[in-house]
Amino acid sequence: MSKYTVAVLMGGQSREREVSLASGSMVVEALISKGHSAYPVEITEKGVWWNRRKQFPGTIPILESIANALDPVPDIVFIALHGPKGEDGTVQGLLEIAGIPYTGSGVLASALGMDKYRSRLIFQECGLLVPPYIMIEKGDPAWEKLEEARAKFGMPLVLKPNDSGSSLMVTISPSFEELERGLKEIFSLSPKALIEKYLPGREITVPVLGNSSPQPLPVIEIVPPGLFFDYRSKYDGSTKEICPARIEGKAFREAQEIAVKAFRALGCRGFARADLVYLEGRIYLLEINTIPGLTSESLIPKSARVVGMEFPDLIEKIVDLGLEEV
């Protein structure tokens, strides 16, 4: 295949910044190992783009920093950002305007994937099963919403921000006081949250690769040390990640089919990962991650390895998919 110049975007301004830096660094190494000319571009916490191969210019207008950082002009930008201002369509829109190809989903799919409430409306319209939930906005009467959720769903309840990843700020609790504290934390950064029925099933996830003909990778079963797959257990090595998942063949295939349907429903491309819960013979779709992690602890590389695709091959495949429709 051709060899490309690839700028790898990492860092960013979200709370998932450190995970992004780890993902991006591994992506650069993988691309170089495959013979590509890859260089890291870090987005600082202030939004400045910094080409690590150059002397950091200090204070510089953001638009000027972008032009300075993308030098040499890449054939494609590999987006290894996570969370708001990176995974939500904003950077994708900027690159669209600049006419620079990039990896992963486009503006609309990225924005929808980050918005749990709106993506679930689409999933439900497509006949996909999601956990029962209530959306709560900043300024709504918290106790009334929690009482409504308790009456509908029972206890404990699950609380999560509408537009964040890596299980940041997720609370599972039977305590209204603890849930209210969780809401205050969420609303300090985001205007919306979801209150969900707790589903005590098996957590599973399915990576998907492709553009017009997306294909699922093997299902992964996630066995966290605690009540759920929280931010700490995602990255500290304490969670068991079993691939292929220990579920019967029919459920295995159904999980893969749901992941592909969700991928298509949002209009994703390149790669993504669907998070699901398997409970009493039913599979509930939680969300689609349009830029899942690519660290040594991440799930997509582990699933890809089961089908003989090592990490550098996976990263190169994602680049190929990013250039496929250019």
Q: How far apart are the first and last CA of the chain?
A: 16
Is 230 a residue of the active site?
A: no
Query: Hey, what are 87's tokens?
Result: 């995974």
Distance CA 73, CA 6 (A): 9
User: What whole-number percentage of the chain has pLDDT above 70?
Assistant: 92
**Whether residue 92 has pLDDT greater than 60:** yes
- Measured CA to CA in angstroms, residue 47 lies from 17, 62, 82, 192 at distances of 12, 7, 14, 24
Confidence of residue 2 (pLDDT cuts 50, 70, 90): confident
Of 51, 105, 162, 166, catalytic: 166
* Mean pLDDT, residues 201-207 taken together: 96
pLDDT at 189: 83
Of 289, 298, 303, 316, catalytic: 289
Confidence of residue 56 (pLDDT cuts 50, 70, 90): low
Of 182, 275, 284, 322, catalytic: 275
The DSSP string of 133-145 is EEEEETTS-HHHH
- Asked if residues 84 and 231 have their Cβ atoms less than 8 Å apart, the reply is no
Is 287 a residue of the active site?
A: yes
Q: pLDDT, tens digit, for every residue of 110-135?
A: 999 999 999 999 999 999 999 999 99
Higher-confidence residue of 167 and 325: namely: 325
- Asked if residues 75 and 43 have their Cβ atoms less than 8 Å apart, the reply is no
- DSSP bridge pairs for 210: 270
**Whether residue 61 has pLDDT greater than 90:** no
Count CB atoms within 10 A of the CB of residue 128: 18
Q: pLDDT, tens digit, for every residue of 160-195?
A: 999 875 466 789 988 989 999 999 999 988 899 999
Q: pLDDT, tens digit, for every residue of 226-255?
A: 555 444 545 555 678 999 999 999 999 999
Of 117, 190, 211, 235, catalytic: 235
Is 275 a residue of the active site?
A: yes
Question: What are 309-314's contacts with CB under 8 Å, separation 24+?
Answer: 311/26, 311/30, 312/30, 312/31, 312/33, 312/34, 313/34, 314/30
**Whether residue 214 has pLDDT greater than 90:** yes
The DSSP string of 197-236 is E---SEEEEEEEEESSS-EEPPPEEEE-SSSS--HHHHHS
Of 12, 254, 273, 322, catalytic: 273
Distance CA 90, CA 106 (A): 10
- Structural domains of the chain sorted by starting position, each given as residue range(s) with its CATH number in brackets: 5-102 (3.40.50.20), 112-129+199-324 (3.30.470.20), 133-197 (3.30.1490.20)
- Asked if residues 301 and 311 have their Cβ atoms less than 8 Å apart, the reply is yes
* Mean pLDDT, residues 38-56 taken together: 87
Query: Hey, what are 296's tokens?
Result: 């040594």
pLDDT at 303: 97
Question: What are 87-96's contacts with CB under 8 Å, separation 24+?
Answer: 87/14, 87/113, 87/114, 87/165, 87/289, 87/290, 87/291, 88/113, 88/114, 88/115, 88/163, 89/114, 91/9, 94/66
pLDDT at 229: 47
Distance CA 134, CA 117 (A): 9
pLDDT at 227: 55
Average per-residue pLDDT for the chain: 91
Is 37 a residue of the active site?
A: no
**Whether residue 9 has pLDDT greater than 80:** yes
**Whether residue 35 has pLDDT greater than 50:** yes
Distance CA 73, CA 65 (A): 13
| Cα atoms in the Cβ-side hemisphere of radius 13 Å centred on 314 | 26
Of 221, 254, 287, 316, catalytic: 287
Which positions ≥6 away from 236 have C-beta within 8 Å?
none
pLDDT at 161: 93
Higher-confidence residue of 61 and 191: namely: 191
* Mean pLDDT, residues 73-79 taken together: 97
Query: Hey, what are 137's tokens?
Result: 């906005």
Q: pLDDT, tens digit, for every residue of 256-289?
A: 999 999 999 999 999 999 999 999 999 999 999 9
pLDDT at 57: 60
Lowest average pLDDT, out of 38-52, 54-68, 175-189, 307-321, goes to 54-68
Crossing angle between the packed helical segments 142-153 and 176-187, to the nearest 10 degrees: 120
Confidence of residue 62 (pLDDT cuts 50, 70, 90): confident
pLDDT at 256: 98
Is 282 a residue of the active site?
A: no
pTM: predicted TM-score of the whole model, two decimal places? 0.92
Is 71 a residue of the active site?
A: no
